[in-house]
Structure 1
């Protein structure tokens, strides 16, 4: 695995386990992944269309810190492994369109837990 992905994977598992040690984790959740442009050639429209074609909900947020693409999954059985499976896939896709990951969060759908994220 490429060193950047390995570091990202380790961080995802560490953060998930840290959250789980402090909060109840819902069985099912919608996971939000945030991507930001890695350079001025980010292809917002193309990436958004591809993601929507794969069943994701996609929104652009123009925040004071800069623009962010929020990619939302359908409800998933929540675990660090599941988050990483989606995160790796989305990170590799994002690279093709000049984006990079900028965190994730989740909102429980089975226990009505609040939003938790990094």
Structure 2
């Protein structure tokens, strides 16, 4: 089954438009990914994301991986650029994207 990047991109742009007026000019973007398998390759995913400039963190129960990048100037285009990159990497390791958030520095 192929991933629907078009729908994911539309959702990202819609989400950003909903709060664009209140969005910070610069922030760290955090993308969240869930493993599709109990034997998911967390270390491989973290290494691959780090090679592209992301910092990563797991939750305590290994149910969620955060991939962070920035601080960056915030726009829908910037959010999507890095979301697409992180998603392409995550899918190779059987992780599913589950949204993003902004952290002001």
Q: Calculate the TM-score normalised by the size of structure 1.
A: 0.80
In 2, Cα distance between the equivalents of 1:59 and 1:11?
Answer: 24
Q: 1:85 to 1:68 in 2, by over 3 A?
A: same
Superposition RMSD in Å = 1.7
Cα deviation, residue 20, structure 1: 1.8
Matched with 2:102 is 106
TM-score (norm 2): 0.89
Which portions of structure 1, spanning 4 or more consecutive aligned residues, are displaced by more than 3 angstroms?
A: none
- How many positions carry a matched residue from both structures? 104
Contact 2:33 2:98 survives alignment (8 Å): yes
Matched, 1:95 2:70: no
1:41 touches 1:98 (CA, 8 Å); kept in 2?
no
- Deviation, 1:41, is 3.9
Distance 1:29 1:90 in 2: 17
How big is the shift at 1:40?
3.0
Which residues of structure 1 form unaligned runs of 5+? 110-118
Q: What residue number does 1:28 align with?
A: 26
Task: For structure 2, list consecutive stretches of 5 or more residues without a partner in the other structure.
Answer: none
Counterparts of 1:20-99 in structure 2 under 5 Å? Answer: 20-21=20-21, 24-62=22-60, 67-99=63-95
Cα distance in 2 between the residues matched to 1:100 and 1:62: 18
Match of 2:19 in 1: 19
Higher gyration radius (CA): 1
